[in-house]
Each structure stands twice: as structure tokens, then as C-alpha cells.
Structure 1
Amino acid sequence: MNIVLPWLRHLLIVVPAIGSLGSDRIASHSVYTLLVLLALLIVRIRIQWPRFLPAVLFCGEVAFVGYLSYSFGGILFLCHLSALISIFERRPAGLTFPMPPWLAALLPAAAMNAALAGQPIQSPETFLLANVVFGSFGLLLYVIQTAAVQKSEVESLYDELSRNHLELQHARKRLMQYAKQVEEYAQLVERNRISKDIHDDLGHRLIRQKMMVEAILSIRAAEPEKAALMLEQVRDQMTESMDTLRRTVRNMSPETHASGRYSLEKLIESAGTQLGIDVRYRTEGLPYALYPSLEYILYRNAQEAITNAIRHGGATEVDIVLAYTPDHVAMSVSNNGSLPDPESKVRKGLGIRGMEERVSLVGGRVDLGGDGSFTVTTVLPHYRQDGREGGTA
């Protein structure tokens, strides 16, 4: 449309000028041709250099075309449509029309009617037809301009949507990479913690057993009965150490193919058999697949919460509730153990701090407290997995 309108402006000068060549009011065709060319020059300057004296040239075009129409008659009143087009043309960025559109449209309309009134013989039908053509053409230009603006806005929105879509894809890829790094880091941190536990627990046991074996070797000849008794103690301690080692290795490597629910069920089963407590588990909402890193965090936080409930609260019953929402998953672990002093804050030991560190890596949080029972709540954000809608498995 930006290409058509400039050509149309020229045609609205040339065609009426040619159509009015037969007018008896043209005394000299050379002067007439020169004036028409001057009108075309004004139009061309306004198109080529829209920033050069826009208000002056617009008024000059209206006045000059009005002079042509008044002087030579014919159908030159149609030349005012060329000035009307310039009101609705798209302009360079930062350039607006120098006057209000309604005032700018009134100027060529007034000039056209003044030129028609100056004709020797003019009927009311001519005035009516000219004004109807002028008004209809102006309305058409307004509709075209509105459609062009809406099209431009739609194209801009589409371009912005495309850019946002590409940014979202890149962000999702980065998020997937970040989730994988978080999973590896969380596993590394947990393995380091467990290796420290192995060093502190099993290392102490092995050192003690080594010292007992050395004592047995030194007294076996003089006190065989005492040596035999100490040997039985070493055997029992080695059995306990082997059980501890097996349990620690199992906890270090939970089944990677199992879902979060399965991992919690395995934890509940092991807690019931090894710790002798009643652990109940239920879910709320519509379950969906979680990233392995999130499953791992839930598993470890539940394990830590159960251990703390027994160690510090003397709990015999633990309730685990896993609530699914479209935006996050929340796991609440409550117990029937003794509550901490309400007047003092809960002291955060290594276990709770470890839970908070794991959760903070993925942008979640850990809440402590509860009504009637001590509850540890782990809230993790839910990220959509590749090829799946959020909130669905």
C-alpha cells in the first residue's frame, strides 16, 4: 500500500489535468502544462522529503491545487484528493502529521468547495457529487490506514511471540541442562556426606576391632577364655559393621528406574523393618512424572525427616503426604513425637541444613512446624519435561 499511494497521488494530479484539457477557460496550454507540472513537483517534494516544511508544503499544495481548480474548472477539483491521501500515508519513524487529521481534511475540502463555487455555472448536484466523492474517498483511506496499522501491530506481536518462543526453547534447554547438573551435584553432595558417615562410623568400629584383635593375640596364651570371649565380641561387631555397610550402600544408590513414589515406598518399607515404626503414605492431586533430581531430593528429605523424628522426637508414627499441583509438588512429613518448645526456635542441625541446601539448588524451600504435630514440608517447583505438558504424566 505504501507503494500504491504515492503513484495514486501523482495520478490524481495528471488524470484530472488531462480530463480538463477541453475546458474553454484554458487560454494557454503552455501555461496550463507548466502549472500542472509545478503541482506535480510539490507533490513529489512532499513524498521525497517528508520532513521538509511539512505544514507549509501541505498548505501550499492545497492552495495551489485550489487555484488550478478555480482558474481552469473542469474536473480539476479531483486533484484535492491527492492532498487528502497525504494525510493518511504512513510516515517515517518519529514523524507525525503537522496538524490534527480532522483539520487537515477540512482544508482540501474547503478549497475544493471554494473552487467549485467560483465556477461560472455549477449545479447543486455537482457540489453534492464532489463532496460525496471526497467524503467516501476519505473514509476509504481511513479504513485502509486502520487496517494497515492493525496489520503492523499483528506482525509486531507475531515477531515478538516468535522471539519469545525461541527464548523459551533456549530457556527450556538450559533448564534441562541445569536440572541434570543439579541432579549430579545433589548426588555428589549426598555421596560425600555418606562417605563421611562411613568414615566416622565404620572407621571407628574397624579401629576398635583392630585394637581388640591385637589384645587377643597378646593374651591368647595366658588367658585363653578371655581371648575367646573377646573374639566373639569382635565377631558380633564385625557383623554389625557389615550390616551398616550394606544399608549405607543401598541408601547411596536408590533405584534410578523407580519413580518418586516407588522410592518413597522403598523408604517406608525399610523404615518399618529397620527402625520399627509405623510409616503411612498417601498422595493428593493428580500425580505426574518428576525429574530424577526432584525424586532424589524428596527421597533424601523424607529419609532425613524420619530419622530426625525418631532421634529428637521419639516418634513411633510418621505420616507422609505428597501433594501434586500444576506448579509445584509438596511433601509433608509429620510425626507423633514430642514437639519442640514453642517459645524457642527449632535448632537447625546438619540434617535440616542439608535438606535446605538440596532444595535451594532447584529453587524450592523447606518449611518447619505444624498444628498438633511437628511437620517438615518440602516444596519443589515443577518443570515440564520434554514433549509433555506440565501437570501430566
Structure 2
Amino acid sequence: MDFWIIFCKLALLIFIAFTCVRADISHISWVVFAILLYFCLNITLTIFKRISIKRILLLLSIGISITSYFEINSLFILLLPLALIELTADFFNKKVIILLISIVPIININETLQPLYGLVAIFCFMIFTITSVYRDRLLKDEKQMDSMRKTLQKMTKNLNENTEYIRQSEYTFKLEERNRISQEIHDKIGHSITGALFQMEAAKRLIETDKLKATELLQNAINISKDGIENIRLTLKNMKPPSEQVGIHRIKLMIDEFATKHQFKTVLTHDGNLDIITPIQWKIIHENITEALTNTMKYSNATLVSVELKVLNKMIRVEIKDNGSGAVKIKKGLGIIGMEERTASVNGKIIVDGTRGFSVTTLLPIHS
């Protein structure tokens, strides 16, 4: 805003100086002095930020304009409207009042200057109004930016706290799970082994004197050991999640991490009985999806990647498709060759299609 006001004042000063030089007045030195004094006052006006000092400097500018009008040249009255506008803008909100105050002096000035004064007053009012609107919008945008910045800082802080909470929760869960497993081993398997040990110790003592009783104790120890082994098997079975849960959740986690890191929108869908997918097939599916996502990130210019896993009657079908530029002629690099080799190792097949984006389809046979 200050730039446009100074520019407007400078244009008026140049106009006054040029007109005075053409008129070839005798007291040109006083004209130069008045112009320089007015210019210095208004440059100082932009330096100070206190409203009281600004008002004093504006009053001095008005005084210079009026004094120069009467004592040096009547054109100096053209500097008055803008100073009046700046001064009254601090006291009145209505633009009409500010415009009227700046035009009022037209009544007391030379009639030949009245049209020019009115034109200058309206022009200065327009410049001041436009710059005021621009300044208000700029201040509003700055406040919004500050508010958004504070909100972002708050959200970042909350995110960090939530991340720390999740990390702590995971650690606590692991400790609780370790404690549960330890307690279960102690309560079930430990008691079984201890009971079997007591039976074998007793059998050892009776082996010479009472072979029948010793044999009975040894049989009891064997039975207890079998029960302990069965408890171990059941405990491990309950702890180990089904392979299909590990496979599909591992793929979902990988896709979510890919979308977060590379700003892709990803969609994962699956259909059919995932139980029949073997661990080696899950491994191949995971590695092929990883390779296909890497190629998408490098070459496709895509914004959406979909992964579809279907278990059909005779085969498992996994398609990774993007909405990128695709390829008319597909050149097989190490990534696609690697997918073909690992898929062929289990009698599967890879289909690559570069039309309407790019897609890689993995076909794996279902072993009955």
C-alpha cells in the first residue's frame, strides 16, 4: 500500500515541478525547497509505525501544501487531497465521508484549479481505496495462513503423540503377550514336565526292588510327557495366525505404506477362499506386487493403482493395474523377467498388458 501512495505523491510532485519550470517563475528555488521538504516528510511517514507520529507528519504535509499554495504556487494545493484522505481514514470508516472531506477545500481555491483539484481528489481517493482493499485482503490472507500454520503444527503434534502412543501400545502388547505365553507354559507345560520328572525319579528308585511298580510309573511319565507335548502343539497352534491372514494383511500393509510414501491412491480387493493359497504362493504374490508397484512409481505417471486377488476354481489370479500412460511396445526388463522366473518355478504364468494403463497379471495353479 505505501508503495502506491508514494508513487501517487511522486507523480503529483513531478507534475507540479514540470509545470513550474515551464512557467519560468522567478522563485524556482522555493519551489524546489517545498517539493523536497514535502518529499522528505512523506518518506519519513513510511518509516514510522506509530499512529500519533504519522498523524503529526500528515498535518505538517497539509500545512506545507496550504502554505505553498498561498506563498509559492497555487498548484501545490493538488497535494492536499491525498494527505486529507490518509488523515481522515483513521477516523471514518465510510468511504463517502473521506471523499467529501478531501473535496471540500475545492470551495476556497482558485476557480481555474477547481476542475483539476476535483479530478486529482477523485483519482487519489480511487488509488487509496484500491490499495486499502488490497491491504485488507492481504492481512486477511496472512491471518488465515497463520491460523492454518498453527492448525498444522497442532495436528503434527497430535500425530507425533498418536504415533508415540501407538508405539508404546505395541510395546505394551508385546510385553503382555510374552507374559501370557510365559504363564501358559509355566501353568501347563511346566507342570506336565515336573510331574513326569517326579514319576521317572520314583521309577528309578523302584527299578531294583519293584519292577512292576517302576514300569507303571514310567508309563505314567510317558503319558504325562505326551500330554505336555500335545499342550505345546496346541499352544503354538493358537499363537500362530492362519497363513491367509498373514498373507493378505502383509500385502495390505505394504500397499498402504506405498500409498503413503509416494502419494498414490491404492485399492486392494480380494475374493475367494484364501485358505488354499500356500505359503510359497503368498511369497511369490507378495514379491510380484512389490516389483509391479516399484515399476509403477518409476515409469507410469499414474495416480491410481489397483490390486485384485481372486481365487478361482483352478487358479489364483492377481492383477496389479494402474491408470498411467501405459506402453505400446513392452520391453521386458529385469523386474518383469524376475516375476516370470519366480512365477514359472511353481508352474505359473505372467501376463503383461500396456493398453489403458499398465497391468501385470500373475496366474498360479491351485494344487488339489
TM-score of the aligned structures, taking structure 2 as reference length: 0.53
Q: 1:176 to 1:41 in 2, by over 3 A?
A: closer
Structure richer in helix, relative to its length: 2
Query: What is the Cα deviation at residue 152 of structure 1?
Result: 4.2
Give the 5 Å matches for 1:33-182: 33-51=32-50, 53-70=53-70, 75-83=75-83, 86=86, 99-100=91-92, 107-110=101-104, 112-114=105-107, 117-119=108-110, 121-122=111-112, 127=114, 130-155=117-142, 157-158=144-145, 161=148, 179-180=166-167, 182=169
Q: 1:57 to 1:177 in 2, by over 3 A?
A: closer
Where 1:238 maps in the other structure, the secondary structure is helix
Letter in 1 for 2:141: V
Where 1:254 maps in the other structure, the secondary structure is coil
Instruction: Please state if 1:12 is matched with 2:5.
Output: no
Matched-pair contact (CA < 8 Å) for 1:46–1:54: yes
Query: What is the Cα deviation at residue 186 of structure 1?
Result: 1.6
2:48, 2:160 → 1: CA distance? Answer: 49
Letter in 2 for 1:109: I
Query: What is the Cα deviation at residue 169 of structure 1?
Result: 6.2
Letter in 2 for 1:46: L
Instruction: Please state if 1:193 is matched with 2:180.
Output: yes
Letter in 2 for 1:130: Y
Matched-pair contact (CA < 8 Å) for 2:99–2:122: no
Matched-pair contact (CA < 8 Å) for 1:16–1:75: yes
1:155, 1:50 → 2: CA distance? Answer: 19
Q: Which position in structure 2 is the counterpart of 1:323?
A: none
State which of 204, 207, 228 in structure 2 corresponds to 1:217: 204
Q: Which position in structure 1 is the counterpart of 2:272?
A: none
Matched-pair contact (CA < 8 Å) for 1:69–1:75: yes
2:132, 2:244 → 1: CA distance? Answer: 61
Query: What is the Cα deviation at residue 194 of structure 1?
Result: 1.2
Q: Which position in structure 2 is the counterpart of 1:356?
A: none
Q: 1:151 to 1:83 in 2, by over 3 A?
A: same
Q: 1:37 to 1:169 in 2, by over 3 A?
A: closer
Range moving further from structure 2, 184-193 or 46-55:
46-55
**Equivalent residues, number:** 253
Deviations 1:307-351 (A, max 9, x none): xxxxxxxxxxxxxxxxxxxxxxxxxxxxxxxxxxxxxxxxxxxxx
1:50, 1:42 → 2: CA distance? Answer: 14
1:262, 1:3 → 2: CA distance? Answer: 61
Instruction: Please state if 1:29 is matched with 2:28.
Output: yes
Q: 1:184 to 1:33 in 2, by over 3 A?
A: closer
Q: Which position in structure 2 is the counterpart of 1:247?
A: 234
Matched-pair contact (CA < 8 Å) for 1:66–1:77: yes
- Select the structure with the greater relative contact order (CA < 8 A; seq sep ≥ 6): 1
Matched-pair contact (CA < 8 Å) for 2:84–2:101: no
TM-score of the aligned structures, taking structure 1 as reference length: 0.50
Deviations 1:115-135 (A, max 9, x none): xx332x44xxx6456335423
1:100, 1:139 → 2: CA distance? Answer: 16
Letter in 2 for 1:183: E
Q: 1:214 to 1:32 in 2, by over 3 A?
A: closer
1:161, 1:255 → 2: CA distance? Answer: 46
Matched-pair contact (CA < 8 Å) for 1:12–1:81: no
Query: What is the Cα deviation at residue 210 of structure 1?
Result: 1.4
Matched-pair contact (CA < 8 Å) for 2:203–2:218: yes
Where 2:245 maps in the other structure, the secondary structure is coil
Give the 5 Å matches for 1:255-274: 258=245
Matched-pair contact (CA < 8 Å) for 2:85–2:99: no
Matched-pair contact (CA < 8 Å) for 2:81–2:121: yes
Give structure 2 stretches of 5+ with no counterpart: 255-302, 305-368
Task: Work out the percentage of aligned pairs sharing the same amino acid.
Answer: 18
2:249, 2:5 → 1: CA distance? Answer: 70
Matched-pair contact (CA < 8 Å) for 1:202–1:241: yes
Letter in 2 for 1:187: K
2:177, 2:130 → 1: CA distance? Answer: 68
Letter in 2 for 1:5: I
2:160, 2:214 → 1: CA distance? Answer: 65
Q: 1:30 to 1:58 in 2, by over 3 A?
A: same
Give the alignment's Cα RMSD to 1 decimal.
4.3
1:249, 1:14 → 2: CA distance? Answer: 94
1:171, 1:3 → 2: CA distance? Answer: 42
Matched-pair contact (CA < 8 Å) for 2:30–2:72: no
